[in-house]
Structure 1
Amino acid sequence: MRTRKSSRILVINEQLEVLLFQFSHVQGALAGKKYWATIGGGLKENESFQEAASRELYEETGILRKSVGSCIAKRDFQMQLPSAEIVFAEEQFFIVFVQQSEIDTSHWTLNEIKTICAYKWWNLKNLRQTKEQIFPEDLVDILLINTPHQL
């Protein structure tokens, strides 16, 4: 089984809300699945988790940061890709605080344009009360452990 390494970024605005993208798959093995997830994506060849996080942050939001700091959480699990391939996912999480709430989607890939249907800033109350699928499932815990004084 192939390992897919990826960086995930918890982008938090001045209102202490975290940015999530809503993914909606209309074809492939995940057709019909809809969920919210953090910013981020897979590492390119010879790229570190930190480098991938900075790149993904810019590509998906237009926010430019040379550094995203240290990894604040990790998770490893099996997942199915839209192609139906099952991979071992190795994820590292980073936190980036921002002042703006608007994002620039002009650098999105064709795949992102096809699958991301919305973005939304979520506060802790909304995350706790939603019935919608959120990834990672323990996002509230990750936020509270790593930003207890800010949230």
Structure 2
Amino acid sequence: MSTMVVRERKAARVLLLDRSDRLLLFRGFDPAEPERTWWVAPGGGLDPGEDPRQAALRELREETGLTEAEVELGPVVAENLAVFSFDGRHYEQQQWFYLARTVRDRTHLDSSGCEPGERDQLTEARWWSVAELRGTTEQLYPQGLADLVAGLLKDGPPVLPVRL
């Protein structure tokens, strides 16, 4: 009987809203299952010695080209433990979701700061309205993303992060 090795990982993600209250998501896929795609907020794993806030800003810069001068990074608004497999490896990933806003309108995103393999697995970027999030049949991560964003737009950040 074989035992499955589960890698533990910590990650920071950014729920980045533009001035029209649209959320930025990336279409990604698993190299082990390239036909299956999903949409996910910018972000990724923490580097050694890095705190989640630093990771959120670094990942946002790498994946979008947006700098701290172009984004107001707010508080952690949600957290979850994601259990998934990627490229044949199994993960348990503790994730923190930061709320952020673009400071000015910018339509051009630059993913040249991504690691080459990561860039290849983020095939498309799109800004989504809450209505589009609620109306899509495509897979969005995390589950409940549309309701989370709608609540943030209506009520602002929660006092304590929401558990997803």
TM-score using structure 2 length: 0.82
The answer to whether 1:80 aligns with 2:85 is yes
1:33 corresponds to: 36
The answer to whether 1:62 aligns with 2:76 is no
Q: Superposed, which structure 2 residues align to 1:105-144 within 5 Å?
A: 105-144=111-150
Q: Following the alignment from structure 2 to structure 1, what is the Cα–Cα distance between the partners of residues 62 and 49? A: 18
1:7 corresponds to: 12
* Deviation for aligned residue 1:146: 2.4
Give structure 1 stretches of 5+ with no counterpart.
none
Give structure 2 stretches of 5+ with no counterpart.
1-5, 157-164
1:19 corresponds to: 24
1:106-138 deviation per Cα after TM superposition (whole angstroms, max 9, x unaligned): 212211221111111100111101011111121
2:159 corresponds to: none
> Deviation above 4 Å: which 4+ runs of structure 1?
none
CA shift in 2, pair 1:112/1:2, >3 Å? closer
Q: Following the alignment from structure 1 to structure 2, what is the Cα–Cα distance between the partners of residues 105 and 31? A: 20
Letter in 1 for 2:83: Q
SS of the residue corresponding to residue 96 of structure 1 reads: strand
Q: Following the alignment from structure 2 to structure 1, what is the Cα–Cα distance between the partners of residues 16 and 129? A: 12
Q: Indicate the RMSD between aligned Cα atoms, in angstroms.
A: 1.8
1:82-103 deviation per Cα after TM superposition (whole angstroms, max 9, x unaligned): 2x12111100000111122321
TM-score using structure 1 length: 0.89
Letter in 1 for 2:134: R
Identity of aligned residues (%): 27
* Deviation for aligned residue 1:149: 5.2
Q: Following the alignment from structure 1 to structure 2, what is the Cα–Cα distance between the partners of residues 149 and 101? A: 26
Larger strand percent: 2
